[in-house]
Amino acid sequence: MRRQEVSIEDIARVAGVSHSTVSRALRGSTLISVDVRARIQQLAGEMGYTPNAVAQSLQTRRTSTIGLVVTSIADPFLGDVAKGVEEVAREAGFSVFLSDSHNDSDQEMAIIETFHRRRVDGILATSSRITSEYRKRLKHIRVPTVLINGQAELQDDFLHWVSVDDQAGAQLAVEHLLQLGHRSIGYLGVSSRPRSNQQRLQGYRCTLEATGILFHSEWVAIASGGEASYEEDVAAGEAVFPRLLDAGVTAVFCYNDMIAIGVLRACQERGIAVPEQLSIVGYDDIRMTSYVTPALTTIHQPKVELGRMAAHVLLDLLENRPVQNHLLPPELVLRGSTAPLVPVACHEKDALGCHCERREESQADT
Amino acid sequence: MRRQEVSIEDIARVAGVSHSTVSRALRGSTLISVDVRARIQQLAGEMGYTPNAVAQSLQTRRTSTIGLVVTSIADPFLGDVAKGVEEVAREAGFSVFLSDSHNDSDQEMAIIETFHRRRVDGILATSSRITSEYRKRLKHIRVPTVLINGQAELQDDFLHWVSVDDQAGAQLAVEHLLQLGHRSIGYLGVSSRPRSNQQRLQGYRCTLEATGILFHSEWVAIASGGEASYEEDVAAGEAVFPRLLDAGVTAVFCYNDMIAIGVLRACQERGIAVPEQLSIVGYDDIRMTSYVTPALTTIHQPKVELGRMAAHVLLDLLENRPVQNHLLPPELVLRGSTAPLVPVACHEKDALGCHCERREESQADT
DNA sequence: ATACTTTATGCACACGTGTGCATAAGAAAA
DNA sequence: TTTTCTTATGCACACGTGTGCATAAAGTAT
């Protein structure tokens, strides 16, 4: 039923030569005389020859293929990363296997196993939480691997990585809020992505302390979520935020943009004006941040660049070029969810101050 | 450097049998005696054997691999579709090659060529604009192909497809607006995705005419965009909307959610209250629609389901099962961007009517 | 004991491509 | 003409796996 593909053997038969000659001619070997070479190449075109990459892979022991594991391809953050990866890979003649782990370690290991079975030349994993047996297995199969924004501490020399500097990002966020005059700044984190959460919390804490502000544990709340989905993050932000509010913060730095949107919602429900009464800083700079009201001030992660960089490191690794890990700098993006702190004695800024009194009335529905 | 993988030949040597016996034992063939079978399977585990899928593919002439072409993996719509595809594929033991065409026909053809070279068992293409030479080539290489929300008219019997019913979606949108009392309803479309735009326009027009409303060409505006990116759509909506406004529409049905957000922005700039003064309906139901203000009423496309369904059709095709194309039903999702038309003489609905007076004040910042 | 069936295994080839080595053909040198 | 060197080509094997067929071993029926 399925049409038989034409092989170099078929071309050889028609041209009256051996398959070796055809193979060499098609690869442009100078061993073959120019006229024969030209004739065979033309013939290949006419006969509609398409090289069989599977056979080539078996022979050369290289598949020109990389595996990309993501925690969720429906996550726009990872969509951007994947775009960068695919772009660089394709340019270098590589194809990309994509697989979605649902942020589950077991599934991720199964995916790695499949990739290994398919003899991918290298593996890229995003936001991966690498367990110890996982690491052992990776070490055993010896497939070059690069982690993107990895969620594990890495001391092994066989695992490479490219990440955005979480601590620096947190510092940018907190410094921005400090500069606006805020002194009671909360942090709203998550437990489902332990490492980056830890890093951002660390950056938050250090920056505060460097300014001489004592660390208040009640200013920090960690939402214990499951598999890190979109809707979950919003709900988590919405649910956990009141705790920080009770602690009296005037600004919140959120683990990511979706959490921040959750906080934004909680504020809308309670009639808290953003940014007049509360400043909010998100993290990631997903597209949505430009379109919510108010638009979110956030920390930009270079997502596509992250993917590109990781792919480059992996390709270098495959060519046995020297490589090094990369820590990319995040950037502060100013939008509309942050504003200067209104002084307690508000004699000069009465236009803003008037919001404070009617905090509890502007609530109606639900 | 790279460790040598263990092959069935290696296992055979250790077990003192031939590689054929190992091959059969590992595949659970009853030709091999139970004890030998068990011993070999155990041995394979101990030696860390991982079957070489490349060699298997060469032999069986099946790669258990499908190629997925998307116009942009950074588009959250396609991210969802990809998720559905990957899910079903993996469950069936298939791996997915992902490639991004940037909505460019030439690149898409190049990708198809690569997929063919890699001998994928089947191809899935999303939102693809299939040119005639493209179709010819697909027909020639005879790789089973399923189109997802394809942008071309299809009469060939070798091309299969799964789509969401655009015309029905448009009908839902327009009927909803009619029910709210609107009679001057605009359509804001795009030229970069001709087929679905045409279908939605058609549904819009038919529904209006079925209600006895004449078609006004000045109620329709088509934004002529380039490669269909996110930001472009918003800008297009924002730029083109004034034309419809001048035509006097009280409601707009938009080609997609991003266009609708563009319209929303234009309204904010001009101090037009949504939904009190203008109703807006989007299309796609991307996640963002829940988080903008007001939240967008829109037409939901079952994105993940679309991917799942397409993958199922493709798998059926590969198993030579009878298949049929699918037209999935869209759904209307009611949110906050649509409201009843305020009657010209507004004596009964004064709660809404009062908004009309302060149209021009509610604007402050740039 | 012989002939026939059943069971378990190996041999050899196939899938399509790449490449080291031998060699035939032709050219150049003696 | 013979020898040597160059150039172009084919032979044969390799990559790792699956499978039709032959066959050895063991069991069963005559």
Distance of CA A329 to the CA centre of its chain: 14
Residues (193-232, chain A) with CB within 7 Å of strand C atoms: none
- Chain A stretch 172-201, residues whose beta carbon is closer than 8 A to a beta carbon of chain B: none
pLDDT band at A341 (very low <50, low <70, confident <90, very high): confident
Instruction: Give the pLDDT confidence score for residue A103 in this predicted structure.
Output: 86
Taking CB atoms and an 8 Å cutoff, what residues of chain A touch B100? Answer: 83, 86-87
- Minimum CA–C1' distance nucleotide for A9: C16
Which contiguous run of DSSP H or E holds residue B27?
none
Instruction: Give the pLDDT confidence score for residue B165 in this predicted structure.
Output: 96
- Spatial separation of the C-alpha atoms in residues B363 and B366, rounded to whole Å: 8
Q: Integer distance in angstroms from CA A59 to C1' D7?
A: 27
Using a CB–CB cutoff of 8 Å, tell me whether A14 touches chain B.
no
- Using one digit for the tens of pLDDT, what is the confidence trace for B123-178? 999 988 777 778 888 888 889 999 999 877 666 777 899 999 999 999 999 999 99
- Spatial separation of the C-alpha atoms in residues A170 and A166, rounded to whole Å: 6
SS percent in chain B: helix, strand, coil, step 5: 45, 15, 40
Distance of CA B343 to the CA centre of its chain: 39
Q: DSSP secondary structure string, B268-322? A: HHHT--TTTT-EEEEEE--GGGGTSSSPPEEEE--HHHHHHHHHHHHHHHHTT--
Which contiguous run of DSSP H or E holds residue A181?
none
- Spatial separation of the C-alpha atoms in residues B327 and B171, rounded to whole Å: 15
- The residues pairing with B299 across neighbouring beta strands, listed in sequence order, are B283, B332
DSSP 3-state of B13:
helix
- The 8-class DSSP code of residue A274 comes to T
Q: Which residue has the higher pLDDT, A356 or A163?
A: A163
Q: Per residue of chain B (366 residues), what is the pLDDT tens digit?
A: 455 799 999 999 999 999 999 999 999 999 999 999 999 999 999 999 999 999 999 999 999 999 999 999 999 899 999 999 999 999 999 999 999 999 888 999 999 999 999 999 999 999 887 777 788 888 888 899 999 998 776 667 778 999 999 999 999 999 999 999 999 999 999 998 888 999 999 999 999 999 999 889 999 999 986 666 778 899 999 999 999 999 999 999 999 999 999 999 999 999 999 999 999 999 999 999 999 999 999 999 999 999 999 999 999 999 999 999 999 999 999 999 999 987 654 444 444 433 333 333 333 333
For strands A331-333 and A297-300, give the pairing. Answer: antiparallel
Mean pLDDT across A67-86: 95
Is the pTM of the predicted complex or chain greater than 0.85?
yes
**Inter-chain CB proximity A79 and B80 less than 8 Å:** no
- Spatial separation of the C-alpha atoms in residues A261 and A283, rounded to whole Å: 11
Residues (60-79, chain A) with CB within 7 Å of strand D atoms: 61
Using a CB–CB cutoff of 8 Å, tell me whether B95 touches chain A.
yes
Q: Half-sphere exposure of B157 toward its Cβ, with a 13 Å CA cutoff?
A: 1
Q: Which residues of B192-227 are buried (b: 16+ CB within 10 A; e: fewer)?
A: bbebbbebbbebbbebbeeeebeeeeebbbbbebee
Task: Quote the tokens at residue A300.
Answer: 């930009």
Give the residue carrying structure tokens 């090659």. Answer: B97
DSSP 3-state of A351:
helix
Rg, C-alpha atoms of chain B: 27
Nearest CA-CA distance, residue A173 and chain B, Å = 23
Taking CB atoms and an 8 Å cutoff, what residues of chain A touch B63? Answer: 54
- Using one digit for the tens of pLDDT, what is the confidence trace for A198-232? 999 999 999 999 999 988 999 999 998 666 677 88
pLDDT band at A154 (very low <50, low <70, confident <90, very high): low
**Inter-chain CB proximity A76 and B79 less than 8 Å:** yes
Q: Which residues contact B47 (CB under 8 A, 6 or more apart)?
A: B6, B10, B11, B14
